[in-house]
Amino acid sequence: MKDIIKDNPFQPKTNGENITLISDLKPTEEAEIEGKVVSKKLQKTKNDKMFLLFTLADKSQSIRAIDWYNAETNNNKIQIGDVIKVKGKIVYFENRLQINISNETNSVQKINIMNINPEKYLHFSNNDLSKLNAKLEHYIQTVEDEGIKSLLKQIFLANSKLRESFLFSPAAIEVHHAYPGGLLEHTLMVTELSLRLYDLYNEDNEICINKDIIIAGSLLHDIGKIEEYVITPRGIEKTEQGELIGHIHLGTKIVYEESKKISPKIKETDLNHIIHIILSHHGEIEYGSPVVPKTIESFIIGLSDNMDAKIAQVKDNIRNTLQINKNQSWSEYDKRLARKIKIEKY
């Protein structure tokens, strides 16, 4: 385990030095910028003039680009997901940055994936991975039921492929914890929140709450994300399995498969309970869960998952705003949160 952490392939190599991000750009006469194509559309004006409208992004923000000169040629040259380099004039248009592509044959160039600097497209965790891993192992050791502990050890310790994937996976593409190691951070926070709720609500002698299930369900609720996402030099992307199946069902598959390899065996009722938590942790059918929470443990974990995801989004929103302007009192409108966030300064 220590060797895996030492050889972490997703550590920043230059600490951001000499990397020009889109957020660093200012209106200027001419510029050459690099970004990932996240959208594109070939359109016509009322006078039947073709133009290409596309959006480039890196980890800092996005910028709109418009090509009036070689629209059809460049539309055929680039695809969504490509990392490209463009030349043009940066202007303000409709209160946002835009680059007007220049009239040159090489004004739009695709970049070979081997020449992409991942630090331009990936965020990195500020946490010590070794400490997070120690906390993960601590939670597993506190489980008293031998069958449940056996399952957790199999997935997080014994299976080296699953272990490595879990340590370095993101929790999302961009919503929250969207960086290598983000899944580990999110999972541990959900576990800590769930255990605090367990301590608060376990004082009622009439209602039983299973602490081992709380730990196992929290640690495993997002395990399918190790197969849902892949990290490439151009950023975090969904795998084909992620697109077709999704992390909830992928997670149940992983747990079922690994449960067959363990000794002592986990009780069928406990396995079904953990599977139920994975299936229900989004809380409602409309949010992607095939079933709603039907046990007190699944309610606790679902609420903890939502809490950590939402607070992480709020913090990212504030952080991104202050990165652009330290004196801002309100963030930009966040579509996912459906609101702006007041930024308090103490």
Q: Which residue has the higher pLDDT, 225 or 23?
A: 225
What mean pLDDT, rounded, does the chain reach?
90
At 28 the pLDDT is: 81
Phi and psi of 88, rounded to 5°?
170, -170
Mean of the pLDDT values across residues 336-345? 89
Q: Which residue has the higher pLDDT, 81 or 152?
A: 152
Q: Which residue has the higher pLDDT, 265 or 331?
A: 265
Give the total number of structural domains in the chain: 2
Q: Are 277 and 289 in contact (CB under 8 A)?
A: no
Mean of the pLDDT values across residues 59-67? 89
Phi and psi of 286, rounded to 5°?
-70, -15
CA distance 283 to 305: 9
At 239 the pLDDT is: 94
Confidence tier at 1 by pLDDT (50, 70, 90): very low
Question: Could you list the residue range(s) of the whole structural domain that residue 242 is in?
Answer: 129-311
Confidence tier at 2 by pLDDT (50, 70, 90): very low
12 inside domain:
no
DSSP characters over 33-65? EEEEEEEEEEEE-TT--EEEEEEEE-SS-EEEE
The CATH code of the domain that includes 29 is: 2.40.50.140
Of 116, 149, 173, which one is at a domain's C-terminal end? 116
Report whether pLDDT(14) > 70.
Answer: no
Peptide bond just before 264 cis, omega within 30 deg: yes
The CATH code of the domain that includes 245 is: 1.10.3210
Give the pLDDT confidence of 153-193 residue by residue, as tens digits: 999 999 999 999 999 999 998 888 888 899 999 999 999 99
Give the pLDDT confidence of 220-232 residue by residue, as tens digits: 999 999 999 998 8
What is the widest separation between alpha-carbon atoms in the chain?
A: 76
Whether residues 298 and 220 fall in one domain: yes
Give the pLDDT confidence of 242-298 residue by residue, as tens digits: 999 999 999 999 999 999 999 999 999 999 999 999 999 999 999 889 999 999 999
At 18 the pLDDT is: 64
Whether residues 102 and 244 fall in one domain: no
250 inside domain:
yes
Sequence letter at residue 147: G
Cα→Cα distances 194→21, 118, 201, Å: 38, 34, 10
At 3 the pLDDT is: 55
236 inside domain:
yes
Phi and psi of 175, rounded to 5°?
-70, -55
Give every CB contact of residue 199 below 8 A, 6+ residues apart in sequence.
none
At 15 the pLDDT is: 52
Whether residues 97 and 139 fall in one domain: no
Report whether pLDDT(149) > 70.
Answer: yes
Sequence letter at residue 72: E
Mean of the pLDDT values across residues 122-139? 89
331 inside domain:
no
